[in-house]
Amino acid sequence: MALTELQCQKAKPKERDYALPDTDGLFLLVRSTGGKSWKCDFVLRGKRHKPGLGKYPAVSLAEARRLLIAARRLAEHGQ
């Protein structure tokens, strides 16, 4: 099930870092220190990559989804 903006806002730090999954490999990483950042997960040339897409709330959920699409297009072209 896809994340909502409200779930992102209400995500609280825990003892350990944790991820809130969205769709298509996008997730919000919530750090134990309270910071939140967007990451995506994909395979490029047989290797798994988890590039960062920006910090939340500077990068909104909608913008993170757009960045994910752009990152996947680059990965399809081997970049």
Q: Per-residue pLDDT tens for 65-74?
A: 999 999 888 8
- One of 3.30.450.20, 3.90.79.10, 3.40.190.10, 3.30.160.390 is the CATH number of 16-76, namely 3.30.160.390
Residue 40, both tokens: 């995506």
Give the three-state DSSP class for 42.
strand
What is the arrangement of strands in the sheet containing 36-40, beginning at the earlier edge strand? 18-21, 26-30, 36-40, 52-56
**Are 7 and 32 contacting, i.e. CB atoms less than 8 angstroms apart?**
no
Domain-by-domain residue ranges, the chain? 16-76
Least reliable range by pLDDT among 16-20, 30-34, 56-60, 68-72:
68-72
**pLDDT, position 64:** 97
Q: What percent of the chain has pLDDT over 70?
A: 97
46-24-78 Cα angle (round to 5): 35
**pLDDT, position 77:** 79
* Rounded-to-integer distance, Cα 39 and Cα 67, Å: 10
Asked whether the predicted pLDDT for residue 78 surpasses 80, the reply is no
